[in-house]
Structure 1
Amino acid sequence: MAGTATPAADAAALANSLWRAVCYVSVCQLHLRDNVLVRRPLSAEDVKEQPSGHWGTVPGTAWALSHVVLAAGELDRRVDVVPLLGAGHAGVVQLAAAWVTGELGAVRAEFGPDEGGLRRLARAFPDVDGLGAEVHPALPAGGFLGGRLGGCLPFAQGAALDAPGRVVVPVIGDGECETPTTSASWPAQRTLSHAFVLPLVHVNGFRMGGRSLLGAMNDEELKAYFGGFGWDARIVRITTGSLPEHTTFHTALRDAIESTLDERPTVLVMRCVKGWGGPASLGGRPLVGTPGLHKTPLTAPRTDPEQLTRLAYWLNSYEPTGLFDADGRACGGLAEAVSAARWCFLVPPELPESASRPGAFGARTDTFTEAVTGVVRKHAARGDFLLLSPDELTSNRLPELAGERWVHELLAKEVLLEWLAGWTASGRRGVLVSYEAFAPLLTSALVAYVKQRRLAGARSLPSLNLLLTSYGWHNVHTHGDPSLATSLLALGAPGVRVLTPADPPRTAAVLDEVLDSANGINIVVAGKHSRTAHAPGTIGEELRRGLAVWPPHSDEGEPDLTVVTAGDIPAAVAVEAVGHIRERHGCRVRVVNLLDLTVLGDPVLWPRGLSDQEIDGYFGTHACVLFLTLGHPAAVWGLLAGRLRRPVDVVGWREPAGPLPQRELARVLGMDQAGVVRAVGRLLASREAAR
């Protein structure tokens, strides 16, 4: 680890100034609306009517960030130390640190690093326009979006994977360590080589309202816990925030970075008191080291003299006159610390010289295996590709991919998704291949990703791609659940796409497209059993517009009935049923294959949504419309939202009462030739009844 190391005592002094400033600004945001430098005695008019926000995590998180950015500044520029905040509640710290170091002013000029900028920030909090009060991707340490606990450690692992010269430092709490996703990530590190992750676990003894499991362990038990997973736990106790404690911690951090770069998994544990530095008590009730400091306890300092006194003492305990000059700018040791600090961000690592860009796809696509294997090998050739699967590649008929250096299998799907999110957060591309029925476990994380991508200031990134197969139509009773697609479509988020290729050539074409897309979540639902290849002439239009009329199965002229298929089974059933429909009902039929479900949505919400004119062009001006879909009918109905003012019906997945053979399941759910013919009969009868 080359670089000019600052003597530990000097680094401690700088870290102390930076930590005090970040804590001070955090308290300002929570409570003040004026007199933000406390140049005069604090009055009731200086404070907010209803102070609110989280404090318990602030002192420890501020401590961690202060030391990490200073350690990064000491290192050779070829080594980046990237902090990530795991708790959404740490947003107040992120805003404070970004204001102190000037990063916030660079993003939002009104919050410049002076008294006026701090006053405006304090008045805006917690409703900071466009930034809010939670961790934000536009600011340092905000690559991972909190709000849900458990994902920061595996996200950091994905971001660090195959990124030489990058150490990712996720700052996670002891409460977060109780989540299944974090718990599974500790042993999962064993499967990753060249992933330099240094977790900084903030053990303050509590979750939100109750004592944490890690907080109840002594030091030896903590070392044994992490050691069992292959991590060397270094424990540092912080009680008052003294200079000796800063010195000890900074030395431990430097050593831990060295160990991490030497590929010795190391975790740095901060043992501290929850909310330390805040009011020790209020109204005779102790606060420090209790859940009473999870949020600020001073909720009425404007009307309660005791609370106002406590607040003034709290603010002055950080000695702001030694941190800021008369204009509110950093001075003295704080100015030195700001100059020495270096924020590092997730950026794409340099590709090896042998890497190549994907060219035209020309491999065979007669089967699902050939289609997927050919596409992912093509994209892997450039060196920035990752394929993840929960131990299902062989089951999903992709055995040739297992064992490739860019392929990782692990049963914990939640961990895999965070690996993929961290990987793509540094500008790289990949896909998660899984059974459709188990994908709903990923809903919370994907919703958080949708939220992050829509925030102002979020960087353009490669899309998150999921290839879901082995769905319920061809599986056992417990393995049928298309809820993930239904849930994501219900968000009405423009970055979501649900893609249902009808055959292996279309699977290859759409997968090739999404792997080069950006800023979206692409859910590709494709059958691993399909060998049927439908007419190839419309694939280009399906990719371009999301759907296409299939001429070989459609009558010329205006249809009486349009059958819209979404997926391989619906397409096969429709093609089989068309002749019987004509024979039985004597009507003109059009078959439309739907590749992208979101085109059914209102174009005001969905970027690829069909206009009214396009709806008439594809479905006919007066035709009844029957949708056949692999997923829930509710997903189609929700997208249509009453736009088709004509008889419409949807045949799709409904939860069966119990286990059924596949043919019987298709019959019960109406996804067979006879069921489609009956559904058409009902539709046509409803139109006649309405005339």
Structure 2
Amino acid sequence: MENQNSKKGKMEIAPELLDKMDAYWRATNYLSVGQIYLRDNPLMRQPLKAEHIKPMLLGHWGTTPGQNFIYVHLNRIIKKYDLNMLYVSGPGHGGPALVGSTYLEGTYSEIYPAISQDEEGLRKLFTQFSFPGGIPSHVSPECPGSIHEGGELGYSLSHAFGAAFDNPDLIVSCVVGDGEAETGPLATAWHSNKFLNPVMDGTVLPILHLNGYKIANPTILARIGHTELEQLFLGYGWKPYFIEGDDPMTMHRKMAELLDQVIEEIKTIKENAAQGSATERPQWPMIILKSPKGWTGPKFVDGLPVENHFRSHQVPLPDAASNPEHLKQLEDWFKSYRPEEFFDEQGLLLRELADLAPEGERRMGANPHANGGLLLKDLHMPDFRKYGLDVSLRGKMGNGDTRVLGEFARDIIKLNRSQRNFRIFGPDETLSNRLNSVFEATSRQWEAETMDTDELLEKDGRVVEMLSEHQCEGWLEGYLLTGRHGLFNCYEAFIHIIDSMFNQHAKWLKVTAELPWRRKIASLNILLASHVWRQDHNGFTHQDPGFLDVVMNKKAEIIRVYLPPDANCLLSVMDHCFRSKHYVNVVVAGKHPAPQWLPMEEAVIHCAKGIGIWTWASNDNGTEPDVVMACAGDVPTLETLAAVSILREKLPDLKIRVVNVVDLMKLQTDTAHPHGLTDADFDMLFTKTKPVIFAFHGYPWLVHRLTYNRTNHVNFHVRGYKEEGTITTAFDMTVLNDMDRFHLVQDVLDRLPNLGDEVAYLKQEMQDKLIEHKYYIRKNGLDMPEIRNWKWKN
């Protein structure tokens, strides 16, 4: 029961309700301690014995009681205001809190019927936690209501904003740990409020949980003082509210009153924006909750402080099974929660307390946005073929492959504007990556101040840009996890900034693919442009194709890497990627004018196969080749074909087979990757005994790694990036890394000793060309005319 206090203008919470909420909180704390310690005696109806305790104690207690406290209070406002709310748990290991809370509200048992709402279910709930064959100690994909993996320290607020985009009635409550708040991504994420449209997007309610300590050190934000902390968040554009204390009932009253005030403010902001009466960017409320780390746990262990100290971070009594004094202290800790006041004889939460939780999909553990595949709708897709380039002459110059893709993406935006389920994210590089045409359909979303001279900014844009790869990746992940589609475009060299974020998302996809109740979500599509071979103008710092190596470490069922050689292939690949589900698709494409090789229908067939012989560039039809010239990537393809043209002119009797690779996974065996070629098919393309000269977009050893167990691997000679670069010409980038046409020709000659002395003059000519090139670019500042004007002879 809640009463209106007319004098104060506040909603006063009835003491009986606060008492019930405190009992509910004690129940979740009890379940949390039980998960860390117990494998038996879940209701403490027997004296606690060593055999009731798990042999290995894992888990994190310190953040848990604060998160339980927040969850209980969010449940109340969900019921009171009929809110559509997600809970994002940012602190690294809050697993006991979220598992316990979703168990009490019933969602856990609905998904996992064996974890029933009785004493036996409690025993299983406790035993499975951080136990072989059980569940992890953090908020993992196995936990209902979760869209954020507990190992993703620093990304919670980014994910929360991604979830809020285009979900106008959704409130994402994001608990930010004060240790997590020290990470770069989280510190930057506070600026996400400059991108949230109060009419078309949802709300993010950050709750900064200041419990004072990390693993073994105090946290910065807990030690800078109230005034400085308040000024920090005012400077970020937030309206911070503080709540501090350690007395449970006082804190319950303060939190309940504060949440009522915050929700009313959020409603007012949304209503004013919808009515058009808001003229400035909203100052969204946030909460700074300061409570003791390890709240309600042991205050001292062996004379040393534990509660409100870093010693409560993990397991406060790590040797309870072998230390009688600690065993007694653990038993007292359990009993301090008075489980008889909230569980009945069967171990079921008392009905008067269970009624505190919301019902159905209003429960945070059952919110469909946390299982985004349930809400996912296919994109309306234009026919990518109509954007294709005319390739009546092979090698005809295009104006940039990503420029063509931009036209395709523009119309995807147009066709899906009413559904509001597609966005492009990028770190201020959408124009630089030549996706210019998308701005014919939309502008960038922007809620901060604007000036008359600004361009392409609006309050409801489909492009979201911030010069932080972390935010772009995190926003997109949150957007995908809640049932939408998107694209992240980035300079190739700087995608490494989000290596760990990609890593965690790939792990999330891997685990959720094995959970039948989790529905598949749209793929994470990463477009890498401004790539290594065309960063000659920016130099060494911008030259790095190594993200491909990182990607290849993940599970084969999840990962796809595409290296389309031209615009038509890029269109075909991206059409596939935008339609796909539950993958990470990494596509590398050039933005500068480049030769086009395949007419659209050939491109479609080639991309569907992922690898194939280019018969029009080969001359071995009907016989076995003398050499296989393989390539993967747009520039490697260009240099390979240029080398082939030299060889065919100078050595017309030489039998050459050209193999182009679009789908990098084709190089693996069919047992290692679903797209992999059988050994028989691989041998058919690359032969069993002939030399293979492979020009590759990335680091050469990746191809060796993918093909190490193939029959002919010993004859593979791979050219790629070998960490040589500077500010130079485009062609010189290939020369510096020995991947140019002149080196490739020499590679062929060196591996065909049967050609005899007739190749001596050709090899010397190639060496002379390299010297000529070196002097020419240093004198003229651009590549030789024969390089700039080279054309494939059809």
Per the normalisation by structure 2, the TM-score is 0.82
Which residue in 1 is equivalent to 2:406?
A: 373
Q: CA RMSD in A?
A: 2.6
Matched, 1:329 2:385: no
d(CA) in 2 for partners of 1:162, 1:492: 31
1:426-437 equivalent positions in 2, closer than 5 A:
426-437=482-493
Displacement of 1:657 in angstroms is 6.6
d(CA) in 1 for partners of 2:78, 2:358: 12
Whether contact under 8 Å (1:464, 1:522) holds in the other structure is: yes
Which residue identity does 1:607 align to in structure 2? P
1:167-566 equivalent positions in 2, closer than 5 A:
167-193=171-197, 194-242=201-249, 244-261=250-267, 262-263=269-270, 264=282, 265-338=284-357, 342-343=363-364, 344-346=367-369, 357-361=380-384, 362-365=386-389, 366-367=398-399, 368-380=401-413, 381-383=415-417, 384-402=421-439, 403-404=443-444, 405-455=461-511, 456-457=514-515, 458-475=518-535, 476-536=539-599, 537-555=601-619, 556-557=621-622, 558-566=624-632
d(CA) in 2 for partners of 1:64, 1:87: 13
d(CA) in 2 for partners of 1:528, 1:386: 20
Displacement of 1:687 in angstroms is 12
Whether contact under 8 Å (1:565, 1:574) holds in the other structure is: yes
What is the number of equivalent residue pairs in this alignment? 681
Per the normalisation by structure 1, the TM-score is 0.93
Displacement of 1:482 in angstroms is 1.0
Which residue identity does 1:168 align to in structure 2? V
Secondary structure of residue in 2 paired with 1:110: coil
Displacement of 1:11 in angstroms is 4.7
Which residue in 2 is equivalent to 1:64?
A: 70
1:617-656 equivalent positions in 2, closer than 5 A:
617-646=684-713, 647-656=715-724
Whether contact under 8 Å (1:51, 1:298) holds in the other structure is: no
Distance 1:258 1:511, change over 3 A: farther
1:144-183 equivalent positions in 2, closer than 5 A:
144-183=148-187
Please identify, of 401-410 and 302-311, the stretch whose mean Cα deviation from structure 2 is larger. Answer: 401-410
Displacement of 1:278 in angstroms is 0.8
d(CA) in 2 for partners of 1:369, 1:661: 21
Displacement of 1:255 in angstroms is 2.5
Displacement of 1:195 in angstroms is 4.0
Displacement of 1:659 in angstroms is 4.8
Q: Which structure 1 segments of 5+ residues have no match?
A: none
Which residue identity does 2:530 align to in structure 1? S
Whether contact under 8 Å (1:490, 1:638) holds in the other structure is: no
d(CA) in 1 for partners of 2:654, 2:709: 25
Which residue identity does 1:213 align to in structure 2? I
Displacement of 1:643 in angstroms is 1.6
Q: Deviations for 1:553-584, whole angstroms, at most 9, x for unmatched residues?
A: 01213322222211111111111111323434
Matched, 1:114 2:114: no
d(CA) in 2 for partners of 1:180, 1:248: 31
Q: Which structure 2 segments of 5+ residues have no match?
A: 5-9, 271-281, 390-397, 445-460, 757-794
d(CA) in 2 for partners of 1:585, 1:529: 32
Which residue identity does 2:286 align to in structure 1? V
Among 22, 44, 51, which residue is 2:50 paired with? 44
d(CA) in 1 for partners of 2:56, 2:131: 13
Displacement of 1:246 in angstroms is 1.3
Among 743, 746, 750, which residue is 1:678 paired with? 746
Which residue in 1 is equivalent to 2:634?
A: 568
Distance 1:328 1:670, change over 3 A: same
Q: Deviations for 1:80-123, whole angstroms, at most 9, x for unmatched residues?
A: 11111113411122222222222222222221121111112222
Whether contact under 8 Å (2:691, 2:716) holds in the other structure is: yes
Percent sequence identity is 30
Distance 1:686 1:272, change over 3 A: farther
Which residue identity does 2:520 align to in structure 1? S
Which residue identity does 2:120 align to in structure 1? G
Whether contact under 8 Å (2:154, 2:184) holds in the other structure is: yes
Q: Deviations for 1:531-563, whole angstroms, at most 9, x for unmatched residues?
A: 311022431223222112212101213322222
Whether contact under 8 Å (2:556, 2:672) holds in the other structure is: yes
Q: Deviations for 1:381-425, whole angstroms, at most 9, x for unmatched residues?
A: 213111011112232223343525100111001110000001111
Among 583, 607, 621, which residue is 2:674 paired with? 607
Please identify, of 612-621 and 192-201, the stretch whose mean Cα deviation from structure 2 is larger. Answer: 612-621
Displacement of 1:483 in angstroms is 1.4
Which residue in 2 is equivalent to 1:101?
A: 105
Which residue identity does 1:548 align to in structure 2? G
d(CA) in 2 for partners of 1:63, 1:202: 11
Secondary structure of residue in 2 paired with 1:40: coil
